[in-house]
């Protein structure tokens, strides 16, 4: 039997905190942040009252899309914008837009983080920064 690392609730909370810290440092507006496991199952999601409820659902969709596809959700948005409209019918994905980033550790996808409520490139920037901060703790 193979052993595989996995994300815990504490890991998900740590990623969310790191994302919020980065967003605050950049003076971005409030964000919704979701973290899911490699199967797209939500571990944690957070949004402040200042963030529209739909943004939390979008953050979850972005995280699920990145986890299930094992790639940044931006890639799907780019492909659709370049004419590959068939992706709109892809099964089990809801948010084919920028802001979802997979979490890779030891060459395995452990899940993903999704951010919503900012401009697309800012959502992705917050997700990647929070993820990088989290992974830095495990690379030492």
Domain ranges for the chain, please list them.
Answer: 9-135
| CB-based burial label for 39 (10 Å; 0-12, 13-18, 19+) | exposed
* Rg value, the chain, Cα: 14
Is the predicted pLDDT of residue 140 greater than 60, yes or no? no
**Model pTM score:** 0.93
- pLDDT tens digits, residue range 112-122? 999 999 999 99
The tokens describing 66, both together, are 């990145």
- pLDDT tens digits, residue range 37-46? 999 999 999 9
As a CATH number, domain 9-135 is 3.30.450.150
Q: For Cα atoms 125, 129, 130, give the angle at the middle one, nearest 5 degrees.
A: 120
């Amino acid at each position: 039997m193979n052993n595989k690392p996995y994300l815990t609730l504490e890991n998900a909370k740590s990623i969310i905190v790191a994302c919020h810290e980065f967003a605050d440092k950049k003076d971005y507006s409030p964000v919704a942040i979701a973290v899911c496991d490699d199967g797209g199952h939500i571990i944690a999601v957070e949004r402040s009252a200042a963030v529209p409820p739909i943004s939390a659902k979008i953050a979850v969709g972005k995280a699920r899309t990145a986890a299930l596809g094992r790639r940044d959700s931006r890639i799907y948005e780019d492909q659709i914008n370049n004419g590959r409209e068939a992706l709109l019918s892809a099964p089990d994905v809801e948010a084919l837009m920028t802001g979802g980033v997979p979490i890779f550790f030891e060459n395995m996808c452990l899940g993903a983080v999704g951010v919503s409520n900012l401009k697309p490139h800012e959502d992705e920037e917050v997700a990647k920064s929070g993820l990088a901060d989290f992974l830095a703790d495990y690379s030492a």
